[in-house]
């Protein structure tokens, strides 16, 4: 199991050598747990050897059919083979049939792996995906808060899979490509993603009083960075709760920055018409059709889903402004503490000001002082970024000395 050990240490050269040795002895491996560790190591290291993966898949299929294999191991295997876009769909069917039989034993991580695997492979695995959708809320109910928070990390990769599918469908010349009309159903993957996200949002909202400050910060960091949405009604509840939490000044900046980015994301998503913040209807995901009139719903999307209207947008923006004004004194104190405040924190504060279209003269003045006092630690990229924000906020035109300081810094670093 040296491959697994070295993958954790990111020793790719050694992993490649061990992989070559493994190919010579692959016929001696029969333990599925060991195979899972090998697959995990190879996938994490982005090492794909078709010959080795085919040999391992044959051993796995025989074990899954003839022996008792833990459902967790099967889910890991499905996930790893989906990561490399393994082309043998019969192998995925064998795994799916076994997973369905063991579905009552899965946990939330297993279920997220199933969703990723069977949403990514290029075939319509209707049965296992619908069963997973039906199980999701119940499995989440029996999970711990930590499990749910940890599995939020699956949302960005599921979103990436769906967007790749949506892009591929949009570019197709033949709208019926890769759709099995004889089955008389289709899967709307965008709606499916919306459904999964909303089940997570419902559960996170129910846990709200139990979440720590760091968990809230990490949650909104993921949602803002990967453009994952929460309905505005739920956002109001989150923001009201956050305003009453005891937070360190640094976390106040991080959370407010994430929420401001989320506000910006709502605006861009509203224009794209791709995502819905309030979809919990499975019947809109798995759609049965008349075989003679089968249509690819994703290719012919006419929904024009709207995430929020102008009133909702303004309401959220006002909520964030109230939050900013409530925390401004603490943020000011943080900016003045040069031992803990970094230039990246300063840029986050300026980003918040720009998105919310709000400035406070005393805080802007202290930020300028921070930049002057920490002049040596400002790199070229940061200098350009600071100049951009100060110009956008229109707070540099009346301060020629400070503008000259930034220009000199930029010039000195070229």
Is 8 a residue whose pLDDT tops 60? no
Q: What pLDDT does 356 receive?
A: 95
Question: Stretch 336-359: mean pLDDT, rounded?
Answer: 95
Phi, psi dihedral angles at 360 (to 5 degrees)? -125, 120
Q: What pLDDT does 278 receive?
A: 64
Is 323 a residue whose pLDDT tops 50? yes
Query: Among 134-143, 158-167, 306-315, 322-331, where is mean pLDDT lowest?
Result: 306-315
Is 355 a residue whose pLDDT tops 70? yes
Question: Stretch 51-80: mean pLDDT, rounded?
Answer: 92
Query: Among 47-51, 179-183, 259-263, 366-370, where is mean pLDDT lowest?
Result: 179-183
Is 133 a residue whose pLDDT tops 70? yes
Higher pLDDT residue, 330 or 295? 330
Query: Among 87-101, 237-251, 330-344, 382-396, where is mean pLDDT lowest?
Result: 382-396
Distance between alpha carbon 407 and the CA centroid of its chain, in Å?
38
CB atoms within 10 A of CB 298: 21
Q: Which pLDDT band holds residue 144 (cuts at 50, 70, 90)?
A: very high
Question: Stretch 145-163: mean pLDDT, rounded?
Answer: 94
What is the H or E stretch that residue 125 is in?
Answer: none
- Percent over 70 (pLDDT), the chain: 81
Contact between residue 302 and residue 172 where contact means Cβ atoms under 8 Å apart:
no
Q: What pLDDT does 19 receive?
A: 63
Q: What pLDDT does 229 receive?
A: 86
Average model confidence (pLDDT) across the chain: 84
Q: Which pLDDT band holds residue 5 (cuts at 50, 70, 90)?
A: very low
pLDDT tens across 56-67, in order? 999 999 999 988
Percent of the chain that is helix, strand, coil (3-state, to 5): 70, 0, 25
Q: Which pLDDT band holds residue 182 (cuts at 50, 70, 90)?
A: very low
Q: What pLDDT does 412 receive?
A: 74
Tell me which range, 10-19, 46-55, 148-157, is most confidently predicted by mean pLDDT: 148-157
* SS3 of residue 264 by DSSP: helix
Closest by CA to 189, choosing from 126, 135, 235, 114, is 126
Q: Which pLDDT band holds residue 29 (cuts at 50, 70, 90)?
A: confident
Q: What pLDDT does 274 receive?
A: 57
Q: Where are the domains positioned within the chain?
A: 1-105, 126-171+184-290+304-323, 337-413
Is 189 a residue whose pLDDT tops 80? yes
- Percent over 90 (pLDDT), the chain: 52
Question: Stretch 283-309: mean pLDDT, rounded?
Answer: 56
List Cα–Cα distances, 252 to 232, 242, 374, in angstroms: 20, 9, 22
Sign of CA dihedral 361, 325, 203, 130: negative
List Cα–Cα distances, 100 to 50, 58, 130, 196, in angstroms: 27, 20, 11, 19
Is 351 a residue whose pLDDT tops 80? yes
* SS3 of residue 49 by DSSP: coil
């Amino acid at each position: 199991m040296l491959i697994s050990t070295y993958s954790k240490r990111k020793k790719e050269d050694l992993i490649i050598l061990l992989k070559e040795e493994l190919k010579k002895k692959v016929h001696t491996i029969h333990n599925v747990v060991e195979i899972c560790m090998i697959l995990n190591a190879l996938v994490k290291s982005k090492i794909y050897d078709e010959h080795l993966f085919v040999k391992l898949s044959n051993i796995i299929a025989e074990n899954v059919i003839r022996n008792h294999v833990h459902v967790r191991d099967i889910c890991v295997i499905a996930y790893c083979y989906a990561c490399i876009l393994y082309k043998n769909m019969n192998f995925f069917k064998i795994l799916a049939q076994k997973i369905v039989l063991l579905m009552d034993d899965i946990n939330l991580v297993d279920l997220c792996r199933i969703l990723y695997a069977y949403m990514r492979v290029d075939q319509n695995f209707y049965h296992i995906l619908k069963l997973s959708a039906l199980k999701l809320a119940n499995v989440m109910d029996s999970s711990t808060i930590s499990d749910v928070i940890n599995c939020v990390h699956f949302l960005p990769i599921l979103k990436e899979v769906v967007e790749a599918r949506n892009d591929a469908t949009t570019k197709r010349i033949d709208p019926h490509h890769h759709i099995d009309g004889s089955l008389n159903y289709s899967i709307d993957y965008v709606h499916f993603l919306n459904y999964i996200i909303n089940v997570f949002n419902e559960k996170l909202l129910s846990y709200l009083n139990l979440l720590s400050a760091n968990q809230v910060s990490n949650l909104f960091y993921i949602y803002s960075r990967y453009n994952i949405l929460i309905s505005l009604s739920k956002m109001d509840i989150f923001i009201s709760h956050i305003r009453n939490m005891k937070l360190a000044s640094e976390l106040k900046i991080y959370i407010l920055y994430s929420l401001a980015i989320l506000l910006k994301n709502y605006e861009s998503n509203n224009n794209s018409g791709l995502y819905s913040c309030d979809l919990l209807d499975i019947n809109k995901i798995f759609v049965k059709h008349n075989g003679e009139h089968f249509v690819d719903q994703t290719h012919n999307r006419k929904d024009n889903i709207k995430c929020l209207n102008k009133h909702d947008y303004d309401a959220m923006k006002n909520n964030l402004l109230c939050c900013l004004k409530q925390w401004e004194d603490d943020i000011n104190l943080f900016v003045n503490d040069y031992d803990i405040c970094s230039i990246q924190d300063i840029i986050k504060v300026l980003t918040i000001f720009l998105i919310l279209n709000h400035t406070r003269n005393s805080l802007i003045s202290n930020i300028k002082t921070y930049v002057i006092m920490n002049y040596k630690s400002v790199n070229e990229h940061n200098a350009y970024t600071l100049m951009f924000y100060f110009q956008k906020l229109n707070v540099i035109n009346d301060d020629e000395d400070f503008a000259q300081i930034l220009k000199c810094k930029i010039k000195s670093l070229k």
